[in-house]
Amino acid sequence: MNEVSDYCISAVGSPAAFQSDEGTWLLMPYLNGGDFLRFVNACQRKGECRNSDQPKKNWDTLGHGISSALVLAYFHQIVQGVEALHSRGIIHTDLKLENTMLSCRDGKCFASVIDLGLGCEPKVTFSCGMTGTPSYLAPELWKRGQSRRSLTSPMRDVWSLGVMLYLLVYPKAPPFMRDGTGQKQIKYNPIEDETIGKENLDLLIAQMLDPDPSMRAPIATILAMLAEIIKTDYAAPPEVIRLIDEKPIDRGATMPVAKCLFDKLDYDVGDQPFEREMCLDDVTEAAPARDFGNVGT
Exactly one of 35, 94, 193, 210 is catalytic; name it.
Answer: 94
Which one is predicted more confidently, 223 or 46? 223
How far, in Å, CA of 83 to CA of 92, rounded?
Answer: 10
The overall average pLDDT reported for the chain is 79
Which one is predicted more confidently, 45 or 17? 45
The identity of residue 100, as a single letter, is: T
Which one is predicted more confidently, 225 or 65? 225
- Residue 28's pLDDT band (cuts 50, 70, 90): low
> pLDDT tens-digit profile of 242-267?
989 877 666 655 543 444 444 444 43
Query: Is the omega angle on the peptide bond into residue 15 within 30 degrees of 0, that is, cis?
Result: yes
Break the chain into its structural domains and give their ranges.
Answer: 17-270+279-290
Among 201, 104, 117, 120, CA closest to 154: 120
pLDDT at position 106:
74
Task: Flag whether pLDDT at 289 surpasses 80.
Answer: no
- Residue 112's pLDDT band (cuts 50, 70, 90): confident
pLDDT at position 95:
96
pLDDT at position 5:
46
Mean pLDDT along residues 195-213? 97
- 94 given a catalytic annotation: yes
First to last CA, the chain: 38
How far, in Å, CA of 133 to CA of 94, rounded?
Answer: 6
In this structure, are residues 154 and 178 in contact, taking their beta carbons and an 8 Å threshold? no
pLDDT at position 272:
39
Report the Cα 292 to chain-centroid distance in Å.
Answer: 16
Alpha helices in the chain, H assignment, sequence order: 36-44, 68-87, 122-125, 139-142, 148-152, 155-169, 183-187, 200-208, 219-228, 238-245
pLDDT at position 267:
39
Which one is predicted more confidently, 152 or 200? 200
pLDDT at position 211:
95
pLDDT at position 167:
97
Residue 177: CB atoms within 10 Å: 15
pLDDT at position 259:
46
In this structure, are residues 33 and 286 in contact, taking their beta carbons and an 8 Å threshold? yes
Choice among 124-133, 226-235, 253-262 with the minimum mean pLDDT:
253-262
Q: Three-class SS string for 44-110? A: HCCCCCCCCCCCCCCHHHHCCCCCHHHHHHHHHHHHHHHHHHHHCCCECCCCCHHHEEEEEECCEEE
> pLDDT tens-digit profile of 161-184?
999 999 999 999 999 998 889 999
In degrees and rounded to multiples of 5, residue 37 shows phi and psi of -65, -40
CATH 1.10.3720.10 fits 17-270+279-290, yes or no: no
Task: Flag whether pLDDT at 232 surpasses 90.
Answer: yes
How far, in Å, CA of 250 to CA of 99, rounded?
Answer: 25
pLDDT at position 139:
95
Which one is predicted more confidently, 51 or 263? 51
pLDDT at position 210:
97
